[in-house]
Amino acid sequence: MATAILQARMSSSRLPGKVLRPLLGQPMILRQIERLRRCQRLERIVVATSEAPSDDILVEVLAEAGVETARGPLEDVLGRFIQVMDTLGLEGDLVRLTADCPLADPVVIDAGVEMRTQGGFDYVSNGQVRTWPRGLDVEVFTSQALRRAHAEARSAYDREHVTPWLYGPGSPFRRGDLVQDRDDSALRWTVDLPEDFSFVERVYAALYPANAAFTSAEILALPFSRRETDV
């Protein structure tokens, strides 16, 4: 079992406030958390947001919905994770997720947690060798590994993006790559731009009313699912 730390902020440069955009009547982040709660290997879900005043409204919305939150630095996101861990006493296996992925797949997340545990890896990801669509990203690592990264990572890039020190050149950690047989790496199911959000709205409108727990296979079966990324 692991704790998921869902990274979120209101000040996204390309689509500000996207995490609270209504998606079938609920903020997008709550739709994502609804999917995360179907994971079998997550015992706790925490939203890690910033101490910036712009994120006050996010904390209020999440508190009203009964979602656990903690806050830390805006730009030093690695420092934010450590502050959240210290505030809430989080140890053991951690799962890093970002709040721009409302199509998150519980099966993929559970597979990442299981791979880290069963394989004895320090860090597992499906993003370094990508075979799943962007938007199904998951990273699993030990709290000890992240604390070492916090102590030794110096570059602004490493600290903003949290985990590069865990898998970059010269990393002391054992890395596992979570892959599938099919290559869907060209597909874009994440939300960074208005057109990304429009795509997700179409997916939810097509699938959610009949099955709130719709799967990635059902998304792939939609006639408009083959949306390729330009990133």
List, for residues 142-155, the tens digit of each pLDDT value: 999 999 999 999 99
As a three-state string, the secondary structure of 96-116 is EEECCCCCCCHHHHHHHHHHH
Asked if residue 225 is part of any domain, the answer here is: no
Contact 56, 17 (CB under 8 A): no
Enclosing domain of residue 11: 2-220
The model's pTM is: 0.95
227 assigned to some structural domain = no
Tokens of 25: 């009547």
Residue 226: pLDDT band with limits 50, 70, 90 = confident
CATH number of the domain that 177 lies in?
3.90.550.10
Q: What pLDDT score does 7 carry?
A: 98
Please indicate, yes or no, if residue 17 is contained in any of the structural domains. yes
pLDDT in tens, 108-153: 999 999 999 999 999 999 999 999 999 999 999 999 999 999 999 9
Residue 38 makes CB contacts below 8 A (sequence gap 6+) with: 106, 213
Count of structural domains within the chain: 1
